[in-house]
Structure 1
Amino acid sequence: MGDRIAAAAYVSDDATDAALRGGLSEFLGSLQIRRGGIRAAAKVMEQTISPRVLIVDVSGVDDQLGELDALAAVCAPDTKVLVIGERQDLAFYREITRHLGVDEYLAKPLTRDNASTLIGPYMAGVEPERASVRGGRVIAVCGVRGGVGATTVAINLALQIADSTHGHVALLDLHLRGGQMATMLGITPVAGLRNALERPGDADALLFERLAIPVSDRVRLLAADEGFETDPAPTAAGIAHLLALLCQRFNAIVIDMPMPPSPTERQALLLARHALLVLGPDVGSLHNVELMRRMLASLIGGGRTMTVLNRYGAAGALKRDLIKEGLGTEPDIIIPDLPKPLNRAANLGRAALRDSPVLQRALAPLTQEIAGVALRRKGGLLRRVFGR
């Protein structure tokens, strides 16, 4: 019998392994990730003390209930058992959590967000809080420097989330001076966003309904067009109030963030479920991305941050091996250089997503990570129960 380890995971595929490593990055020093699934876990547990947290993959196992029952027999009663699998029926979830002592079940495909949100608290020694009300999730899109295409990513991601989930999505441009979202979409902002962010006591749901301009049937834009001679002074309370109202109305809120954010604007990052670091294939981006990573890790944790390499393959750009060396890992999402469709879309005031299948495919993994769209099958009820 050996010393008890903090946590172990037994997985059966590369995608699940990557999701755990990405979503639980701050816990990798105390988490052992191995291959073999639940059967390998049971064999190890027969010979050693079970860890405080045990994550097992039951994919591809015929008698999943029997294997879980056998695992329970060799696990310490205080071990937190978290199960990953392909089944999405509610009866299975109830059976294993109510009668077999499983603490949590996560249906595949496992995302970094689910790993961070549902497994991370167990790793930290506390059970995750259960949301008492439904609300939209906040996605902060952060360009590591000017000109990397963060606004383009934000606009097209919002539209793809709406198209894929049929949910309601808000686009929020926090660049109160010089913001480009409205221009790129051929929209003229209405006055009022600055005042609402500066004086939240004057803002209510009806005001935000007026400020939200339709982009499509299920996407709305909130933006300002303040002059460069002005000095907007949004407050943290104003940003928090705005996002609280938007989370009641929309399933997702995609924010185009000023970078680096002011102390006030960091309030939006504190409320973000996901933070996307958009970088270009250049030395300047690689220099800034690590600074941004550290800032975001201190605010929301590393498991909620993803790197999006935009304009990959542009003329004169860095090659992939140099980008990987600079980042210390592969980018999470890679979007190729698409000058013709993007420039044409910007000049026409419409989203490039509608005319570029290449962009649609490049954004698809990001949309799945954020919205869990691969789960929108017959198991819809189970998807809501599991909070994904």
Structure 2
Amino acid sequence: MPENGKRFTGDTEQSVRVLVIVQDLETEAMMADFLNTVCPKEGRLLRLGMAQARHYLSYNTCPPFLVLDIRGSADPLDSVRQFKGMVPPDVTVMLIGDRDDVNFYRSITHGYGIAEYLYPPLNRNLLVRFFGDLILHGQKDTASVGGGSLVTLCGVRPGVGASTLLANLGWYVAQEVRRHTLLIDFDTQASRLGVLLNAEDNLGLLSVLEEPERMDSLLVERSIQSVSDRLKLLSSLGPVGQKPRLVPSTLKSLLGFVRGQFHFVMTRTDWSEGETFSALAGQAQQLILVMDPTLACMRDTLRLLAVLPQLHLPTKPVLVLNQFGHPGTLSMDEVRKSLGCAPDIVIPYLPRECGEAEINGVPVASECKPYRDAVGRIAHESLSLHRVAQSEVAERGLVGRVVHTLLGAR
């Protein structure tokens, strides 16, 4: 279906606060009346099929409010998950669908952060009462507005590859799954993320940690470096031997500033950091333990697993065995016997690939299939993410380019 329902009720693109995407002429007319009532000069109305809507949202900036028609979806929950992941977390999403049961309503509002949901029969007064109230007065209930998920990686011992995994997991989630992602490295003495991602460190994070009373949203925003459109970095290299003390309250405040802007905030820490580790692991939606196949690492992994119940983690930690196959290290059978279980994810020993990627300043997952596959498994199985299907958003050839242009792709 062509984009023949495209309308601007605002004077310029910058004035648009509300984007409405519907699928049929009748709903389009109703939503046009709704926009003219609630925000006569701040709305944009499009008539698109669901595949076209995914294409459009993948390549265009979304305004603060989005009304989306998902009627006809074979799997409504999957559609909600896909569409919610295509827009920044601070966008208020309202849906029109087919399902009229309370369990579905609870699933999407509590589980996916959907602000409101309506189903037919629709009328102007109903739309104004529920959708219009949100647009005019903001969220009714902030309980579900907790921001993006925090993912904490912990290297069980130095040199196991936690920084490399963090950089590549962040790249994969931002590039392949198209989620807005922020990487934070609290190691102000020897951070490698800037080297791994070909980004320059600045002193912003160091300033925040040394003088937490100066922390505000403007300082934090200025300190964030852009790696790509959806991947950002917050890291600093301070003077040798001068490491600021990381106070749990400072970490909590910093995370509070950034989580509302990203789908995922990912960081790394060492369990030897004590209260810093406890603070980051305790707030995380997912803790990932990175180890290598050595006896010392097996010993320390078991020690760490023994104390984790004290943190009351919301999910079971993910065990990643990195550098498997390194000469002179444990076999898989020996690893299983040492841990009492098999690791969740295994990354092979790839010294040449990892070394060359670091020298070139590119993620090793972008060029090495075994590493990419392992990172993809972490994203899909541990973070419950799914890769955007390229066939849906980027057809090849002349027709694909024409559609790409018509839908306003960047």
- Shorter-chain TM range is 0.5 to 0.7
2:185 is the counterpart of 1:173: yes
Counting matched residue pairs gives 270
> Given that residues 190 and 237 in structure 2 are in contact (C-alpha distance below 8 angstroms), is that contact kept between their aligned partners in structure 1?
yes
- The 1:163–1:371 alpha-carbon spacing in structure 2 relative to 1, beyond 3 Å, is farther
**Cα displacement (A) at 1:195:** 2.5
Look up the match of 1:374.
Answer: 386
Percent identity of equivalent pairs: 25
**Cα displacement (A) at 1:130:** 9.6
From 206, 219, 233, the equivalent of 2:245 is 233
**Cα displacement (A) at 1:105:** 11
Superposed counterparts of 1:35-46, under 5 Å: none
From 176, 182, 195, the equivalent of 2:194 is 182
Report Cα offsets for 1:162-189 as digits up to 9, x if no partner.
1232111011001121122222233331
From 225, 228, 240, the equivalent of 1:216 is 228
> Given that residues 148 and 310 in structure 1 are in contact (C-alpha distance below 8 angstroms), is that contact kept between their aligned partners in structure 2?
yes
Instruction: Determine helix, strand or coil for the equivalent of 2:386.
Output: helix
**Cα displacement (A) at 1:242:** 0.8
2:332 maps to amino acid: R
Report Cα offsets for 1:298-353 as digits up to 9, x if no partner.
21337331100001112222110110111111101111111111000112222111
**Cα displacement (A) at 1:256:** 1.6
Look up the match of 1:95.
Answer: 101
- The 1:337–1:345 alpha-carbon spacing in structure 2 relative to 1, beyond 3 Å, is same
From 165, 171, 175, the equivalent of 1:163 is 175
Report Cα offsets for 1:49-105 as digits up to 9, x if no partner.
xxxxxxxxxxxxxxxxxxxxxxxxxxxxxxxxxxxxx95458787537389x99x99
Look up the match of 1:7.
Answer: none
> Given that residues 197 and 242 in structure 1 are in contact (C-alpha distance below 8 angstroms), is that contact kept between their aligned partners in structure 2?
no
**Cα displacement (A) at 1:210:** 1.4
Look up the match of 1:267.
Answer: 279
2:357 maps to amino acid: A
2:103 maps to amino acid: T
CA distance in 2: counterparts of 1:130 and 1:314, whole angstroms: 49
Look up the match of 1:249.
Answer: 261
TM-score (norm. length: structure 2): 0.60
Unpaired stretches in structure 2, ≥5 consecutive residues: 1-73, 81-96, 113-140, 390-410
Look up the match of 2:10.
Answer: none
> Given that residues 194 and 234 in structure 1 are in contact (C-alpha distance below 8 angstroms), is that contact kept between their aligned partners in structure 2?
no
- The 1:375–1:191 alpha-carbon spacing in structure 2 relative to 1, beyond 3 Å, is closer
CA distance in 2: counterparts of 1:243 and 1:131, whole angstroms: 17
**Cα displacement (A) at 1:135:** 1.0
**Cα displacement (A) at 1:295:** 2.9
Look up the match of 1:81.
Answer: none
Superposed counterparts of 1:273-284, under 5 Å: 273-284=285-296
2:325 maps to amino acid: G
CA distance in 2: counterparts of 1:264 and 1:147, whole angstroms: 19
Superposed counterparts of 1:96-111, under 5 Å: 97=103
2:341 is the counterpart of 1:335: no
From 291, 301, 307, the equivalent of 1:295 is 307
Instruction: Determine helix, strand or coil for the equivalent of 1:275.
Output: strand
TM-score (norm. length: structure 1): 0.63
CA RMSD of aligned residues (A): 3.0
- The 1:350–1:177 alpha-carbon spacing in structure 2 relative to 1, beyond 3 Å, is same
Instruction: Determine helix, strand or coil for the equivalent of 1:170.
Output: strand
> Given that residues 143 and 149 in structure 1 are in contact (C-alpha distance below 8 angstroms), is that contact kept between their aligned partners in structure 2?
yes
Instruction: Determine helix, strand or coil for the equivalent of 2:206.
Output: helix
Look up the match of 1:146.
Answer: 158
